[in-house]
Amino acid sequence: MAEKHIYQLSTDEVLAKEQVQTSGLSAQEASKRLAEHGQNKLAGKKKKTTLARFLDQFKDFMIIVLLVAALIAGVVVHEWADAGIILAVVILNAVFGVIQESKAEAAIESLQAMTSPSAHVRRDGEVVIVPSSDVVPGDVVLLEAGDVVPADLRLIESANLKIEEAALTGESVPTEKNINVIADEAGIGDRTNMAFMSTNVTYGRGVGVVTATGMETEVGHIAKMLDNQKENQTPLQANLAKLGRSLTWLILVIAVIVFIVGIMRGTESPAEMFLTAISLAVAAIPEGLPAIVTIILALGTQKMARHNALVRRLPAVETLGSTDIIASDKTGTLTQNKMTVEQTYYDGKLHAAADGVADTSKLLPIMTFANDTKEQADGTLLGDPTETALVAFAKQHGFAYQDALQKTPRVAEVPFDSERKLMTTLHALPDGQILVATKGAPDELLRQATMIDEAGSARPMTAADRDAILATNHELAVQALRVLGMAYKILPSLPETVTPASIEHDLVFAGFVAMIDPERPEAKEAVAEAKAAGIRPLMITGDHRDTAQAISERLGIIPRGDSAAVISGRDLDQMDDATFEQHVQDYSVYARVAPEHKVRIVNAWQKQGKVVAMTGDGVNDAPALKAADIGIAMGITGTEVAKGASAMILADDNFSTIVRAVKAGRKVFANIQKSIQYLLSANLGEVLTLFTMTMLGWDILAPVHILWINLVTDTLPAIALGLEHTEPGVMKQKPRGRNSSFLSGGVGSAIIWQGLLEGALTLGVYWLAITFPIHTSSAAIHADALTMAYVTLGLIQLFHAFNVKSLHQSLFTIKPFGNKAFNWAILIAAAALAVTVLIPGFNGLFHVTELDLIQWGMVLGAGVLMVAIVEIVKLFERRRQK
């Protein structure tokens, strides 16, 4: 026979199993068990040192390629300047990565900072307060409203105990607890005789025996799932790795061809041709790309932080932009995690909460009298979320309940009981009579009611009244509203015995209130905007199916009445992975799910080739947060485990921030794409120039020319392109998806023809300088031609930077000078290039000559021609698309 679960044991069996009496452990035994089981803490991952983080930055494929290029340039060819520049860029990239990661971690640590709660335990027969970290298996723990449960407990005493378990189960309403044995297998949310670590006591009191601590708790099991969850490569990382591999092979092929052709021609020595091939490789590799991508991501991260989105890992910024699916937790993310009165029913009619309650109705006094909410000096309401919602509603509509309670103080009560589902309080009226105020489940209340309140007067209740009340109650329940009935009666004096049987009968039904954990005001708009952007929102919750469907309909996640789009965790258990993956697109709402279900949901969508973002705040969300392409945790209500598993944290817990972050992610991708288009087309122009010069036997540009052009044109302008404003309509486009690349959407073809154009214009200027020289000396002619080719190749790239501000739109319709950082970058780069020609002393260092006005005119004309040709091609492309 299989061993019983702890919740299937009686209280005596639990005490025997844990070898403890109700008086608790002795201090000596507690110390012994603490040494045996360790502290009651979740095992945290060892933090990486700064050096380890720095070394991690060198695992990227492109970085490895650059390091190899630097090694060859320095050791083999002795071009130490080349090697130094490449290494400087690589180190700069690594430093950027470490700084950003450290800043994010520091911010998160401050966000996560919270004091460790204490626990009331019985030791040696007395109640003592110990740090929760010192709680051990077998400890007898006392719970009351406001406590955080320190470990997993099997309850042995319970008095109206309610525990809010949203962080673990996703249930927005506190769970009523008892000590009854549960015979059958039960999920976490249905183990009503258990209390779990990190959950919150909202009502009543209880006593429990610790059955698990630390990593052996339910929270600990989720932490273990996190450790075993593989972290996915982001689309950005995959794109860069793929691009790096493609470029490397292309570069190697071209370099080998140049080297072989040069040797076959016999005009250059093998060493000189090897140097030429290396120079060509240096020209082709966009060595600044990793650093530029990092900088653009860092800038995007800083901007998102100003909008309350804290990014832990840089690639997460861009991943949001490619998101196909946002799988969102309901409680606290899409909803407010705060019960709110939405409708009232009295005088035979439903009323919107915003309309208030008529003065003749008894609803407001009853809902605040039959209520154990405590109000602090600052106005904060403490107690059961349902009861605090009633008091908040009464206060909102001007009912001075505290003054009313002073005039009619509570003199007796019949506490809430989960079996009869009612609560009653008795109050002394000024004339000596007793007011009985009762609230509870409407159907139970109706069984005890014989009268009905109508416009402030009581009359006998008819069968038609009962039918109308029950029909309205059912109508609201279908909408997932929680309905509480209110009733009263007047007694001439306080009875000698106050029991349910003596008090709760012949009541006057006053009406009821309908409550719900409402959606966030901005969430519905955010869902609509996500849909317009081609993103499919999913809702994943631990709530019951009806509640999940009602909330998702109100948010616009699914159409009204589309119950087929809702699936429960139990139904999910009956599907194997293959079947679920086949039908995953049928479902948008997942109800009553467990942590392992959430991971299955994320994995199933990923196998469909979708980029999945998962939002959540509870411990139960953490494994899926880590499994998703980007996990987004809530900063205020989010648990420590959820934050640690996420790639991004919302400091304001605002769902609409996610949509702003998606927009920022799309902008980041577009700007990285612009930088790549700029860099690769420029480098292709350089490769074509060098390759053609080599093939034709012309004088070729020296490595110092190529390196200086790369230094002044590949850095500041490319970074400044990362600051371009968001292009219109970015949130009206479909997600580009997992299989897209930086070269998709016409960028790849643009790089090729624009790079060829740059090379052709540069070679054209060189040819003109040779064909129509201004000097007679052959050496001077070739020196001028090489100088003009050098300046043209540099300046034409700066002109082209304006072209790539938009792939399809005309330069003159997108505010070409609207980006101040870009304007300064172009001016500084142009000045750095011009100084090598115009300032005496630099000429010899860079092997260039001074140019006259005609020669400068030819160089600048090539740059203008570059812009003009690209504009004409864009014009034809726009007409063809129309």
Catalytic amino acids? 329
Tokens 């074509």 appear where? 688
Query: 655-696 vs 235-265: helix axis angle to the nearest 10?
Result: 0
Contact partners, residue 453, CB within 8 Å, separation at least 6 = 346, 347, 361, 362, 488, 508, 509, 510, 511
If you ran DSSP here, which 8-state letter would residue 59 be given?
G
Helix-helix angle 289-306:655-696, to 10 degrees: 160
Measure the CA–CA gap between 292 and 286, rounded to whole angstroms: 10
Angstrom distances, CA of residue 251 to CA of 87, 245, 414, 691, 830: 19, 10, 84, 11, 28
DSSP state of 137: T
Helix axes 778-803 and 747-771, enclosed angle (nearest 10): 150
DSSP class of residue 48 equals P
CB atoms within 10 A of CB 823: 13
- 452, HSE (Cβ side, Cα atoms, 13 Å): 21
* The amino acid at 226: L
For residue 786, give the nearest of 867, 714, 700 by alpha carbon: 700
Which residues on adjacent β-strands are paired with residue 613?
326, 630
Pairing state between β 349-352 and 340-346? antiparallel
Which residues are paired to 328 by β-bridges? 539, 615
Cβ atoms of 163 and 195 closer than 8 Å: yes
Residues present in the chain in total = 882
Q: Is 94 helix (H, G, I), strand (E, B) or coil?
A: helix
Q: How far apart are the first and last CA of the chain?
A: 73
Residue whose tokens read 């209280």: 11
Q: How far apart are CA 549 and CA 560, in angstroms?
A: 9
SS3 158: strand
Token pair of 602 as six digits: 């994320």
Determine the Cα–Cα distance for residues 714 and 708; give it in Å rounded to an integer. 10
Q: What's the token pair of residue 706?
A: 């190529």
Residue 464 makes CB contacts below 8 A (sequence gap 6+) with: none
Cα dist. 571→183, 537, 541, 564, 574 in Å?
A: 22, 21, 14, 12, 5
40: burial class by Cβ within 10 Å (0-12, 13-18, 19+)? buried
Cα of 174 vs its chain's centroid, Å: 26
Rounded Cα gap, residues 283 and 28, in angstroms:
74
CA distances from 185 to 4, 158, 181, 426, 441 (A): 9, 22, 11, 41, 28
Provide the 3-class DSSP secondary structure of residue 351: strand
Decide if 170 contacts 568 (C-beta within 8 A): no
Asked whether the beta carbons of 634 and 649 are under 8 A apart, the reply is: yes
- CA atoms of 116 and 109, how far apart (whole Å): 15
Cα→Cα distances 405→170, 371, 424, 430, Å: 35, 11, 15, 11
Instruction: Identify any residues that bridge with 490 across adjacent strands, giving them in sequence order.
Output: 435
CA proximity to 312, closest of 632, 647, 50, 626: 647
